[in-house]
């Protein structure tokens, strides 16, 4: 972005006396005083701590102006540009909406219980072959992250691919109306956040909010194999496109072949073309189909789509292969976990060829509420003792899985349980048993911090 402070002030209704600062040029926005670029507008947000206390640090690190909440006494120096607003977060959101309309790119909004980040990366990769694309950085997918994504667009941006997260009703309604997408994509419906929503039906209702801001001539792209979405899509008047594994879907996969670190597949739209994605897990084929559907709508050629998928750069810690210090193959999926995702990746690991042992390290899946006991225990259905020889479980909820497995006859000697503060002991035990050819899965909600285990297993 590049805007004068006077334009920003007008856009957010902060036309306080800024005459002396009106020509200050803003080139980015930031809400973390430690991570900003020179020329940034600092946004002091109210969270567990008050962002206003970091304004001095922001200026020292290169910020050239800051927002300031009107209910706070002004404590900055007279020569430091400020824009006084009622609420800095609302001002950030309003500014992002203004800038979005100014740049006027095509907007692709993506959500889903699983796969939204991977689908975002695939979609951006496909579209980038023929268009100037901006995409959500990391997991900037909420009421703060989405506006920051929009404001970090270059003026040449033709398409912005926006990931949207959700943990409560109304959140996607707000985000969808903020960005007014041309394309709204739902990857799938799972049990993520079921603690707050109680049923998958209510999760589906909340996910459908992504269509609330969909432009009248926009397109709704969704998983056609999910009955909950099929039912609700009937109320969407805009153009609809489905993807999945059924012949009734607009885009469906055929000839799926799983390799050690990649998947080949064909698509009904171009039956003679073979596509490759550099990741494991057949569930990722659906993510690719969603991205392909967007690409087809924007006239990206199959040749470009093939190249983009084969070379896609994925966000860190989403089912990525890492080599351990002892030469073991580690499938790291430590950013998040829920029952659907855990079952999918366990199925994948059981199908992967290896001359060593298959070892699964599973941590608690958070935000499952009253269903937590049942859903943790349900993972036992996807664990075969003949295919996953050793299990390392972390967290109190994983005790439910241990009990279920032992009741089903899984060898008790092959199950090892740890509390969340015993990660060092877990690492020591793993290092004592891992051999060069072993395949190790790491899967847990981020709050369990298995990334610390990964760091120690890969340290050389």
Binding-site residue set for ATP: 112-118
Q: Rounded distance, CA 143 to CA 208, Å?
A: 17
Q: Rounded distance, CA 445 to CA 251, Å?
A: 31
Q: Rounded distance, CA 351 to CA 364, Å?
A: 23
Q: Rounded distance, CA 242 to CA 213, Å?
A: 19
> Which residues on neighbouring strands pair with residue 263, listed in sequence order?
258, 277
Q: How many CB atoms lie under 10 A from the CB of residue 51?
A: 21
Q: Is 135 helix (H, G, I), strand (E, B) or coil?
A: strand
Contact 221, 287 (CB under 8 A): no
Q: Rounded distance, CA 343 to CA 155, Å?
A: 42
Q: Rounded distance, CA 78 to CA 18, Å?
A: 11
Cα dihedral angle (161, 162, 163, 168), rounded to 10 degrees? -160
Q: Which positions make up the binding site? A: 112-118
> Which residues on neighbouring strands pair with residue 361, listed in sequence order?
392, 442
Q: Rounded distance, CA 163 to CA 176, Å?
A: 11
CA-CA-CA-CA torsion sign (318, 324, 330, 336)? negative
Contact 224, 243 (CB under 8 A): yes
Residue 254, judged by CB atoms within 10 A of its CB (0-12, 13-18, 19+), counts as exposed
Contact 420, 339 (CB under 8 A): no
E-state strands within 181-230: 183-186, 219-223
Q: Rounded distance, CA 97 to CA 13, Å?
A: 13
Containing 358, the helix (H) or strand (E) segment is strand 358-363
For the record, the structure tokens of 429 come out as 């035990």
Instruction: Please name the residue ranges forming H helices in 130-199.
Output: 145-151, 171-179, 194-197
Q: Is 212 helix (H, G, I), strand (E, B) or coil?
A: coil
Residue 216, judged by CB atoms within 10 A of its CB (0-12, 13-18, 19+), counts as exposed
Q: Is 239 helix (H, G, I), strand (E, B) or coil?
A: strand
């Amino acid at each position: 972005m590049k805007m004068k402070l006077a334009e920003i002030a007008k856009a957010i209704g902060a036309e306080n006396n800024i005459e002396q600062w009106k020509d200050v040029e803003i080139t980015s926005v930031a809400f973390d005083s430690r991570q900003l670029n020179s020329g940034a507008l600092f946004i002091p947000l109210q969270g567990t701590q008050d962002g206003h206390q970091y304004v001095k640090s922001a200026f020292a690190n290169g910020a050239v102006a800051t927002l300031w909440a009107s209910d706070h006494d002004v404590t900055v120096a007279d020569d430091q540009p400020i824009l006084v607003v009622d609420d800095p977060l609302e001002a950030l959101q309003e500014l992002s909406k203004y800038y979005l309309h100014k740049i006027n790119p095509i907007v692709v909004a993506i959500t889903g219980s699983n796969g939204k980040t991977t689908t975002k990366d695939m979609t951006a990769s496909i579209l980038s072959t023929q268009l100037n694309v901006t995409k959500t950085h990391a997991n900037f997918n909420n009421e703060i992250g989405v506006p920051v994504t929009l404001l970090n667009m270059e003026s040449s941006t033709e398409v912005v691919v926006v990931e949207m997260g959700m943990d409560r009703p109304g959140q996607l309604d707000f985000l969808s109306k903020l960005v007014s997408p041309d394309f709204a994509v739902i990857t799938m419906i799972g049990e993520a956040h079921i603690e707050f929503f109680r049923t998958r039906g209510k999760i589906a209702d909340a996910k459908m909010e992504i269509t609330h801001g969909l432009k009248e001539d926009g397109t709704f792209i969704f998983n056609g194999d999910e009955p909950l979405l099929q039912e609700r899509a009937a109320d969407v008047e805009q153009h609809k496109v489905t993807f999945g594994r059924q012949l009734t879907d607009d885009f469906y996969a055929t000839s799926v072949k799983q390799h050690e670190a990649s998947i080949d597949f064909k698509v009904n739209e171009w039956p003679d073309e073979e596509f490759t994605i550099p990741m494991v897990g057949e569930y990722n084929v659906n993510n690719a189909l969603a991205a392909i559907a967007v690409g087809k709508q924007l006239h990206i050629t199959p040749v470009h789509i093939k190249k983009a998928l084969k070379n896609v750069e994925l966000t860190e810690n989403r089912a990525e292969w890492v080599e351990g210090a002892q030469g073991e193959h580690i499938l790291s999926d430590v950013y998040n976990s829920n029952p659907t995702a855990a079952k999918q990746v366990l199925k994948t690991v059981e199908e992967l060829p290896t001359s060593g042992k298959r070892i699964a390290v599973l941590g608690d899946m958070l935000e499952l509420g009253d269903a937590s006991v049942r859903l943790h225990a349900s993972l036992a259905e996807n664990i075969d003792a003949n295919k996953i020889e050793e299990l390392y479980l972390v967290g109190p909820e994983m005790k439910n899985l241990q009990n279920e497995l032992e009741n089903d006859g899984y060898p008790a000697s092959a199950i090892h349980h740890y509390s969340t503060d015993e990660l060092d002991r877990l690492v020591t035990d793993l290092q004592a048993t891992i051999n060069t050819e072993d395949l190790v899965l790491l899967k847990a909600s981020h709050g369990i911090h298995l990334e610390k285990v990964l760091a120690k297993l890969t340290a050389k």
